[in-house]
Chains A and B, each alone.
Chain A
Amino acid sequence: MNSLAGLWHGFSVALSPLNLLFGFLGAVIGTIIGILPGLGPLGTMALLLSLTYGFDPVAGMILFAGIYFGAMYGGSTTSILLNIPGEAASVVTVLEGYKMSRRGRAGAALAVAAVGSFIAGSISIVFLSFLAPTLAEAALQFGPAEYFTVALVGLVIMSRLTGGNLLKSLMMIALGSALGTVGMETVAGYMRFTFGMSILAQGIDFLPVAMGLFGISEVLITLASPQENLSLQQVRFRELWPSRQEWRRSFWPMIRGSFIGFFIGLVPGPSPVIATMVSYTVERKLDKHGEFGHGAIEGVAGPEAANNSAVGGAYVPLMALGIPFTPAMAVVMAVLLIHGISPGPMLISENPDLFWGVIASMYIGNFMLLIFNLPLVGVFAKIIQIPLYLLMPLVLLLCLVGVYSINNSILDVWLMIGFGLLGYLMRRLDFDVAPLVLALVLGPMMERSFRETMMIGQGDLTVFLTRPISATLLAVGAMVMVAPLLKKALWQRASRRQSSDTE
């Protein structure tokens, strides 16, 4: 089945009433959690994972795609109207969006953000439709050495891209990898780090860890930070239409943002967040009006397009290789795994309904989001006024019940609370917890691939360098690690030379 025929088939799956309903539900839930600061798309998907047991896997995937895209739409609303980014990927939108709002152009900023998100979402889905099958075909040539290198380089890139201290990120990766070795080892059935507890034999599931690190710790951080009163700016429907000049100025930033977002989405790490930063920097560099910092519409159009497009990009490695490059994609992968479906190169040929149905539903979901996000922007923005004393206990209840329902195990509740406390502590010390979760997810696969590579290659470590794909990936990883250090050293040398010249 070629991509166009596949997509046609996908629409027949996605347009069934049940799948349409799940697409709609996902879009609404995503928009709401995008608006509410704290619980991001990852936390929400982790909470709702237990509910997808009862659904068809296609419906579950459609629900989660709707949530992920919806969160990107919703996050811009409070960034523009309240100066509060509901979601990490909307932090950059605050810079110009809120300034536009202060100048009385909130409606235009919201419309450009929504239309930009729609255009970018559509472009990234087109890329996903054509790129994922090609990559999946190429991935059939992958052996264990390539899988090991993809995961290793993915973690290396993530440690570099999450920002902050490199040592902290590497320490998180090491901790996640160590947690991934707990439980019964698959080749000889040897019990590792279980301390005699049979309950640990299955290993540490990443969901209680993710729910603790992202859900529970977020509630604790919200409680520990002083709250401010919010004053919501009203936007009338007729104010939503941008002027002709605003449209003209937004068009190319939207297109550039779409491309930037998609290609950054392919890279491991918090891609929607990085995509918005790169897009903002590019638009600022290209600025001809000198309005940046005072409410430039390009600074809203570009980043908002980029974060939506990155979501489409992030689906490519998962659907084509079966490797999640972000914690959110790991939760999406869990939807497939609990239904006995392994994502990877064979997914498209073995489950065409699922693959093409999900992609087609993304088109429909994007259209739905545009239709109801614009007219209902005022209603959605009011959601942020839900008092914390209602919202936070509700989030905790969903965490406590949701985590128990995954394996019906009290150990998972203990793990979630333990990692919630650890996450609270680590986030207060400026540790990014995402690399830990990703290393925990990728760790067992890395170990399996490493051992298989060594057994096949008779212990020859150079196999990672002699196989072309693996060697190329390792070179990319090495460049990512070394380039910033080299740049820093050169910069220090240049500044030393400059200071000695002036003396």
Chain B
Amino acid sequence: MKQKELLFSLFVLLVAVIYEVMALRMPRGHITYPGPGFYPSLVGVFLLFTSGGFVLWTLFKGKAPMPAAGPGEVDRVDSKTNQRSKTLLLIALLLFYVLTLNSLGFLLAISIFMILSIRIFGYRRWLPSLGITIAIVAISYLSFVVWLKVPLPQGILGDLLEGILG
């Protein structure tokens, strides 16, 4: 935990440094007429102080005691690894959706996303998953695209449906 906290706070500190350097390059004006860089440079100093302070706090705080290994420890570690790989898979799936949304179109991209995410959340049967996906995607298409006129990227299936629905 401590190591992760330190890494995260170092990352924020790096962001703070970049932010402040960029803010200082903007025209700051004068206190009687503050320019576009005036307020960001103050925010940058605040960000530097808080992230720098947190780095120091993380470095000097005591180490939390490690929980003692119990009889079910191996199972717990296995389950944790399993959950972690599922989380990574879901993140990859989210990225896949947003990367293919324009090329595949909403209907195809969201259908692939839904059927695979149902599986990631532990449901293993393909046919019912397909049925659930079709039902949910159809309802969302009708409510967002047909009713609310949200111009979601259409793709191949969208063109087909538009032809059918007129």
Min CB–CB distance A145 → chain B (angstroms): 14
What is the bound-complex CA distance between A216 and B91, given in angstroms? 10
B144 to chain A, nearest CB (A): 5
State whether A400 touches B38 (Cβ < 8 A): no
Contact A392:B117 (CB < 8 A) given known A174-B43, A192-B36, A193-B22: yes
Out of B43, B57, B87, B136, which one reaches A397, CB within 8 Å? B136
Q: A190-B26, A404-B150 are in contact. Are A455 and B32 (CB under 8 A)?
A: yes
Of the candidates B39, B43, B83, the one whose C-beta lies within 8 Å of that of A451 is B39
A164 to chain B, nearest CB (A): 12
Interface of B is mostly: helix
Q: How far is the CA of A175 from the CA of B94 in the complex (A)?
A: 25
Q: Taking CB as reference atom, which chain A residue is nearest B141?
A: A401
Q: Number of residues in B with C-beta < 8 Å to the partner?
A: 67
Q: Interface readout for B111-146 with A: 1 if CB under 8 Å, 0 if not? A: 001100110111100000000100011001000100
Report how many A-B pairs have Cβ atoms within 8 Å. 167
Cβ-defined contact, A51 with B98, below 8 A? no
Provide the residues of chain A in CB contact with B43, threshold 8 Å.
174, 177-178, 181, 443
Interface size on A, residues (CB 8 A): 63
A489 within 8 A of B: no
> What's the minimum C-beta distance from A60 to chain B, rounded to whole angstroms?
13
Which of A175, A185, A417, A455 has a CB less than 8 Å from the CB of B12? A175
**A401 near B110: Cβ-Cβ < 8 Å:** yes
State whether the Cβ of A486 lies closer than 8 Å to any Cβ in chain B. no
Structural contact, A421 and B91, CB atoms closer than 8 A: yes
**Selected contact of B90 from candidates A193, A223, A461, CB within 8 Å:** A223
Contact of A178 among B44, B83, B102, B137 (CB under 8 A): B44
Q: Which residues of B sit under 8 angstroms from A181, Cβ to Cβ?
A: 23, 39-40, 43
- Bitwise interface map of A from 118 to 138 toward B, beta carbon under 8 Å scored 1, else 0: 000000000000000000000
CA distance A480 to B147 in the complex (A): 49
Q: How far does the alpha carbon of A229 sit from the alpha carbon of B84 in the complex, in Å?
A: 20
User: Given contacts A389-B122, A425-B8, are A408 and B151 in contact (CB under 8 A)?
Assistant: yes
Mask: chain A, 436-476; 1 = CB below 8 Å from B; 0 = not: 00000001000100110011001101000000000000000
Listed stretches A165-173, A252-260, A261-269; interface member: A165-173
Cβ of B127 to closest chain A Cβ, rounded Å: 14
- A175–B47 contact, CB under 8 A? yes
A166-206 CB contact bits vs B (8 Å, 1 = yes)? 01101101110110010001011010110000000000000
Which B residues have a C-beta under 8 Å from some C-beta of A?
1, 4-5, 8-9, 12, 15-16, 19, 22-23, 26-27, 30-40, 43-44, 46-47, 49-51, 53-54, 57, 79, 83-84, 86-87, 90-91, 94-95, 97-98, 101-102, 106, 110, 113-114, 117-118, 120-123, 132, 136-137, 140, 144, 147-148, 150-152
| 16 sampled A-B residue pairs with Cβ under 8 A | A50-B150, A174-B49, A177-B47, A178-B40, A188-B36, A224-B83, A387-B123, A389-B118, A390-B132, A393-B118, A396-B113, A400-B94, A414-B98, A417-B95, A428-B4, A459-B32
